[in-house]
Chain A
């Protein structure tokens, strides 16, 4: 009986066009073009000569592509290259230290918030999150005064400290979610099996939270790598500048060298893109962890 009806109805079924689905696709395509186009233009410009870049109407495709701009930036013997490489190193140094210190602080903090009940636990945890309610710029002046009082103006330490205060809340919050999801029985088992509390944390819990640690590392690294306003305010000596400030300063000293600027910008985005591509699976896992019970 059911077979017959199925056969009879199947050919009649005609899928109506799902307009919502097509609207979604159209919107996503638009969004894709919107984000990819500037980057494509950046790369295209970076392989043009200065003359070709200024032409009007623009050269959509470089007639004589050249990698000279990149060679110039990566050559430590000329002034441009030396400056760029120093900025790059400064940025890397600040971002890396921010990331490492961030993990060193966030991991035990998140673990404590997740596992221990201590007086003021909730207050502290929300205190950590309240920082995220304010835009970063609001803290610019107070932090500058604080740094001057500490004698840290014009040092990389001022930036590292600042980036930590901005990066840590999210790191702690994300990692806490990870630790909440690791059954406490695993640690109890380890402690009964002969581990101290710290060994149980180090040998059992830490390896299980690696995805979370990696994700929070990316967050803090990218945050520090891209930061502009604080670096611009706290640092004034040329030899300490980080990339975002350095690029801007450096290229406006002369007539704007658009291809050079674009080449430098592209190089600056390389570490971020690489980090993302390599570690994106951890990223997604960290953000969705705890959303559903496994």
Chain B
């Protein structure tokens, strides 16, 4: 096991930067998720760690070695691919044995290690089959087996669950988490599904446009998103963002809507609003922090119901406030209808304020 350090890693194709100045440290035994939308550079970053692509700049350290110029085979890593990349002409046994054969282990040791790995993943009965004769979940397990059979320093996983159906995905999610727990392995896990990242990872690195935006524990990223992109990317349903006008008078501050209402801010939020570079401020709030009222109460703003989505134990409503769609969760017993006038109360403690120009979260000065 080992830690991974990325220092100012760059990868460009001509003027296009796929990975732009990414620095992060994955501690020994940590499960880190690289998360972001398609084309954000997360898979490229993983391939750079694996050595499958040459870097344009920066340093990568695995364990205590700088691996910049090492071949993938010399980096002591294992990788699980999105399409599993099982060797189709080899049996499961030979798939698992391949990394060991390449390292010229004696035959009896190979046999022993393959059987141990197979037992761990409960695929012993599949050892003589070819990959195409396996179900998606079984293929996934073989791919994991091929990665762990060699006992590598680092596991790299490239969207390993995205080819599975929804039910299996949830099951494999907990299996991979268990796998991490049992082996105490260092894992870098790429996913576009923020839910996977939040549920599985010790830390998550949110990327967009080749940049690393935020690198922290899922709880911290969830609670304190660094900008509007992270805010709207993490969490399901996404955080609602309402563009408003900041108005200050002395130490008091409020947010004003062109629709005519005004939301007074708490002293803490007023100080945050004061640090904005412009008067345009984006108000962010998660669905669970909002309260829906049928009548006006102090600190609430008017909105119009757009859709109502009952899911059983909670009902999600989408409400138009100042032209923006706001997600709210309510008790299933609450009866609301589309186009109904409602009032939304914000939680001053758990609301987020962003600078509309820089998109960055506002901090109290």
Contact = CB atoms under 8 A, between A and B. Distances in A.
Contacts of B103: 194
Contacts of A188: 47, 50, 52, 72, 79, 81, 85
A189 B81 contact: yes
Interface in A168-202: 183, 185-186, 188-196, 199
Interface in B7-28: none
Contacts of B52: 188, 191-192
16 contacts: A185-B81, A188-B47, A188-B81, A190-B87, A191-B52, A191-B72, A192-B52, A192-B73, A193-B78, A193-B98, A193-B102, A194-B99, A194-B103, A195-B73, A199-B102, A204-B87
B153 to A, nearest CB: 12
Given A183-B83, A185-B81, A199-B102, A191 B89 contact: no
Contact of B77 (A183, A192, A195, A204): A192
B71 interface: yes
Interface string B79-92: 10111010111000
Contacts of A142: none
A14 to B, nearest CB: 44
A208 interface: yes
A167 B225 CA distance: 61
B85 A196 contact: no
A207 interface: yes
A186 B99 contact: no
Contacts of A191: 52, 71-73
B146 interface: yes
Contact of A192 (B78, B82, B83, B89): B78
Contacts of A183: 83, 85
B87 A192 contact: no
Nearest to B143: A189
Contacts of A196: 71, 73
Give chain B's interface residue range (CB within 8 Å of chain A): 20 to 34
Interface in B38-96: 47, 50, 52, 71-73, 75, 77-79, 81-83, 85, 87-89
Most buried by B among A185, A192, A204: A192
Contact of B89 (A193, A194, A208): A208
A64 B83 CA distance: 66
Contacts of B81: 185, 188-189
A183 B85 CA distance: 8
Nearest to B82: A185
B159 to A, nearest CB: 11
A292 B82 CA distance: 21
Nearest to A182: B88
Contacts of B99: 193-194
Nearest to A210: B89
A186 B78 CA distance: 13
Most buried by B among A183, A185, A189, A191: A189
Nearest to A194: B102
A212 to B, nearest CB: 14
Interface string B105-146: 000000000000000000000000000000000000000001
Contacts of B71: 191, 196
Most buried by B among A186, A188, A194, A208: A194
A192 B79 contact: yes
Contacts of B102: 193-195, 199
B88 A192 contact: no
Most buried by A among B50, B71, B75, B146: B71
Contacts of B85: 183, 185-186, 188-189
A10 B336 CA distance: 53
B120 to A, nearest CB: 18
Interface in B158-178: none
A97 to B, nearest CB: 29
Given A192-B73, A193-B146, A196-B71, 8 more contacts: A188-B47, A188-B52, A188-B79, A189-B87, A191-B71, A191-B72, A195-B102, A207-B89
A192 B72 CA distance: 5
Interface in A237-288: none
A183 B146 CA distance: 18
A189 B149 CA distance: 14
A145 B72 CA distance: 50
Nearest to B102: A194
A118 B194 CA distance: 37
Contacts of B89: 207-208
A89 to B, nearest CB: 36
Task: Name the 8 nearest CB pairs between A and B, nearest first.
Answer: A194-B102, A193-B99, A185-B85, A189-B85, A191-B72, A194-B73, A185-B81, A192-B72
A196 B87 CA distance: 16
A49 to B, nearest CB: 54
B14 to A, nearest CB: 12
A193 B83 contact: no
Contacts of A208: 88-89
A185 B52 CA distance: 10
A291 to B, nearest CB: 19
Interface in A5-27: none
A267 to B, nearest CB: 37
A275 B79 CA distance: 42
A192 B50 contact: yes
B16 to A, nearest CB: 14
